[in-house]
Chains A and B, each alone.
Chain A
Amino acid sequence: MKLTLRVWRQKNANARGRFVTYEAKNITPDMSFLEMLDVVNEELIGRGEEPIAFEHDCREGICGSCGFMIDGVAHGPKRASTVCQLHMRSFRDGDSLTIEPWRAKAFPVIKDLIVDRSAFDRIIQAGGFISVPTGSAPDANAILVPKENAELAFDAAACIGCGACVAACPNASAMLFTAAKVSHLHLLPQGQPERYDRARNIVATMDKEEFGGCTNIGECEAVCPKEIRLHFIALMNRDLIRASVRDWKVGRRAAGM
């Protein structure tokens, strides 16, 4: 196979980026998309040109490191897949593809296709956990979790934090990422004590990191490699409303009303 790639090249966060066109030759359908880029990079290095910088690690679709737009679609044309699990058999010989990094204010470009997703870590710091210091846990079977809740919690917990949802959203919202974590914890009995503080704090941090608001477009769900469902956003919104009602009541009580 032979392909033509238009790739976003940007030296660093402060430099101006531009598209550069490369030919990808000697590609076979068995290759993953990243292996195709490896071939292009080996050739670039051979010519003394800088290779295309992209993030990747496990190449099994689970670490969440990789991800970029292929023809405007996060992680490319295959559903429920990361770019490392996308194989060239999904393309035709002679295709022209445009490859560019995630675009979002909260994800500044570091170099070429690499962006800074540390805002996701800060969202988790704000409440994406259950406060349980090491050593203080009760016996594992003392906590009963109905199977269906455990399954649903797992569906939410499967998020790999790749950022495709943000990149696909016209508002660059991080609602699907945030709601997945909130829902995972809220569906389990262990997550109940901190439930409302968590929803409030985590959403406030999301806003502070300059992710956009959610307008229920659903692009996030369409590109999510782990098929995280939109209904988790509804679940989180419900908690958020309850949290604000509670705050209001607590405020009234404190004011002696």
Chain B
Amino acid sequence: MGATDMDVETRVSGTVVDPVHGRLDARIPPGPIDKKWERHRFDMKLVSPANRRNCTILVVGSGLAGSAAAASLGELGYNVKCFSYHDSPRRAHSIAAQGGINAAKNYRNDGDSVFRLFYDTVKGGDFRAREANVYRLAELSVNIIDQCVAQGVPFAREYGGLLDNRSFGGAQVSRTFYARGQTGQQLLLGAYQALERQVGLGTVTMQTRMEMLDLVVVEGRARGIVTRDLVTGAIESHVGDAVVLATGGYVNVFYLSTNAKASNATAIWRAHKRGAFFGNPCFTQIHPTCIPVSGDHQSKLTLMSESLRNDGRVWVPKKAGDTRAPDQIPPNERDYYLERKYPTYGNLAPRDIASRAAKEVCDDNRGVGPGGRGVYLDFTDAIKRFGESAIRERYGNLFDMYERISGENAYRVPMRMYPAAHYVMGGLWVDYNLMSTIPGLFVGGEANFSDHGANRLGASALMQGLADGYFILPYTIADYIGRTRPDKVDEGHPAFRAVEEEVLGRITRLLDVKGKRTVDSFHRELGRIMWDDCGMARDDAGLRRALEKIPELRAEFWKSVRVLEGSEEVNQSLEKAGRVADFLELGELICIDALHRTESCGGHFRKESQTPDGEALRDDEHFAYVAAWEYTGTLARPNLHKELLHFEYVHLTQRSYK
């Protein structure tokens, strides 16, 4: 049944009017910002080495945050179980990050500092992140680089043997460390190797091809998970004293995105339905430089690192409908629109701004390539200045990748780029200790909402994942265990039996629909709704439309999806069906959040809220808060809780990159 206008009205106004203050305590330590973490580390409880092996910690996910946390907790002597739905922890999608990782080392002597990285990140996030978390992230950034170098991560070097840096994604200092265009791969392999070392030493048990399908809460605390073995289909319970979700982001709700095909929201969505609040679900990031869609069969989109914008110039023809080949368009008939609109930052304008600018020129009928959804990223000038070999050295693998997919040689013709869904700043709400609203449930990496506000800056995701995993969770989990001393619970506990039954029931329901439509066809349709009405530009009418369509599509899914038999073996369509079923619920929450936030900020652009020249216009008076949504049992009526944001060190200003 489609929701009526009336329903939408009551559900949105109803939630805003009734915020439960006081329940959402971010537990930010007192004191000046540069002393908070240091002091908190002293205030936190420790667990004695002898007691650690009696504590079991379940880490779900093995990307940067998960591998780093599992390895570090294993080194400390905890009994760790780490879960991955892949065949090996090394497959996690952190591996695909290209550009680099930020750290406030100031090796370039160009004026960088912890405070500047903190400042840039708060401002870049359009003042919707928590200052204390961001400051800690900036502080820890320097330790991350040390750790990774010691592990043997082959970062780019200069001739003197020192580390090289580049400027990246809207930063005016060079603080980005990189390993060719494969920084994520090398950092993940570093964490993976540290993890496998612990597996070899017996402190970590690695459970591969194992998907978490639900969370078990006993007496108000997270005490375990229920998994499905993707090879045998066995449903199993795992008990722990604390659970860490490091399961990545949910941008595959758009179907076409730069995420890996299996990336999904099931773990965090199940936890949400068990009581974990969901923070800022509508904060999604659309990355400006991706290879444009080539046809209906397209299964995913490929990102080209935005480091390309360091040397590539973005342009479209000045004239609408100009179909001449790029080399036939003289310089004075080209619109280098980023350089024109943002003279200070030029082609390096932050992601949200660059994406929207590309959409605008394409909406203006000045887009290039098939379908007119593309802009040029042109290296002609850089090749003239530095020579082709210098460009090849910097971006060779990216140019190769571009040629493989598009069939075009970007040393000769400009690349064509278009924005694509890439990352989510939203995620499960966590306090300063990275603990969700369910005690004992910790959330790290992209899966939590914490550090990026409404827009993530380039080279900050890797930094956050590793900070959470290596340097925050090992301390805060110890504090939790030290304070609570959880009782012994085993797999026979009725709460585990009950959740196992629910999981089995869901699988049976999916198999029993026996309809006609494939899972992918539903996923594609959901993606189209989300992209059209909750994508780069959102408005009231579009979001209301999406909020009618999504429940209809969900009802249709449960009536006519076709999942083939076989719950006791490898069944990839069953795996997908469960994930898409959850996306169909999460999509609705994203739209509810986007509808309620009538301001524009960062990646969330409401057409109703813009400056006269079309930039995002924040409404700090009404929206300087984190929207944390509580599941109430009815998807259409979540409860809104607000965590008010205070800016003591970075003053609220209209963000400008002009």
Contact = CB atoms under 8 A, between A and B. Distances in A.
Interface of A: 11-12, 28, 30-32, 34-35, 38-39, 42, 45-46, 48, 50-51, 53, 55-65, 78, 80-81, 85, 87, 89, 110-111, 114, 116-118, 120-121, 124-126, 128-141, 143-147, 150-151, 153-154, 157-158, 160-161, 184-185, 188, 190-191
Interface in B16-53: none
B10 interface: no
Nearest to B197: A129
B152 A38 contact: no
Contacts of A63: 90-93, 95-96, 260
B96 A60 contact: yes
A28 B302 CA distance: 18
B54 interface: no
8 contacts: A60-B303, A63-B92, A65-B91, A121-B208, A124-B193, A140-B146, A141-B162, A154-B180
Interface in B133-155: 143, 145-152, 154-155
B163 interface: yes
Contacts of B146: 137-140
Interface stretch (B182-190, B346-354, B579-587): B182-190
A28, A117, A124, A130 pick with most chain B CB within 10 angstroms: A124
Interface in B303-322: 303
Question: 5 shortest A-B CB distances, which residue pairs?
Answer: A144-B161, A125-B200, A137-B150, A129-B193, A137-B146
A45 B508 CA distance: 18
Nearest to A150: B157
A46 B518 contact: yes
B161 A145 contact: yes
The range of chain B's interface size is: 35 or more
A78, A134, A153 pick with most chain B CB within 10 angstroms: A134
Given A34-B299, A134-B470, A184 B95 contact: no
Contact of B295 (A30, A128, A137): A30
Interface in B167-209: 179-180, 182, 185-186, 189, 192-194, 196-197, 199-200, 206, 208
A35 B298 contact: yes
A28 B570 contact: no
B159 interface: yes
B439 to A, nearest CB: 25
Contacts of A81: 404
B494 interface: no
Interface in B518-577: 518, 520-521, 562, 564, 566, 569-570, 572-573
B162, B163, B197 pick with most chain A CB within 10 angstroms: B197
B72 interface: yes
B160 interface: yes
Nearest to B393: A151
Contacts of A34: 299
A60 B401 contact: yes
B518 A42 contact: yes
Contacts of A154: 154, 179-180, 186
B570 A53 contact: yes
Contacts of A146: 157, 161
Nearest to A147: B157
A134 B154 CA distance: 18
B154 A188 contact: yes
A140 to B, nearest CB: 4
B407 A158 contact: no
A42 B193 CA distance: 37
B383 interface: no
Contact of B182 (A62, A133, A150, A191): A62
Given A129-B193, A139-B146, A111 B569 contact: yes
Given A89-B407, A150-B155, A57 B197 contact: no
Given A28-B295, A146-B157, A129 B88 contact: no
A58, A85, A111 pick with most chain B CB within 10 angstroms: A58
B520 A38 contact: yes
A59 B573 contact: no
B150 A132 contact: yes
Given A61-B401, A147-B157, A151-B157, 12 more contacts: A30-B295, A31-B295, A50-B564, A59-B302, A61-B404, A87-B404, A111-B569, A132-B150, A132-B194, A135-B471, A184-B154, A188-B152
A110 B407 contact: no
A94 B159 CA distance: 52
A42 B90 CA distance: 29
A32 B401 CA distance: 13
Given A58-B260, A63-B260, A130 B88 contact: no
Contacts of A139: 146
B88 A118 contact: yes
A114 B570 contact: yes
Contacts of A39: 297
B93 A130 contact: no
A12 B566 CA distance: 12
B373 to A, nearest CB: 15
A45 B560 CA distance: 13
B231 interface: yes
Contact of B297 (A35, A55, A80, A143): A35
A134 B471 contact: yes
B262 interface: yes
Contacts of B150: 130, 132, 136-138, 140, 143, 190
Contact of B90 (A59, A64, A147): A64
Contacts of B154: 150, 153-154, 157, 184, 188
Interface in B391-410: 400-401, 404-405, 407
A125, A144, A191 pick with most chain B CB within 10 angstroms: A125
A111 B179 CA distance: 36
A134 B72 contact: yes
Given A50-B566, A125-B196, A137-B150, A117 B88 contact: yes
B156 interface: yes
A64 B91 contact: yes
B323 interface: no
B236 interface: no
Contacts of A60: 96, 302-303, 401
Contacts of B180: 154
B601 interface: no
Contacts of B521: 42
A120 B521 CA distance: 36
A129 B190 CA distance: 8
B86 interface: yes
A58 B470 contact: no
Contacts of A50: 564, 566
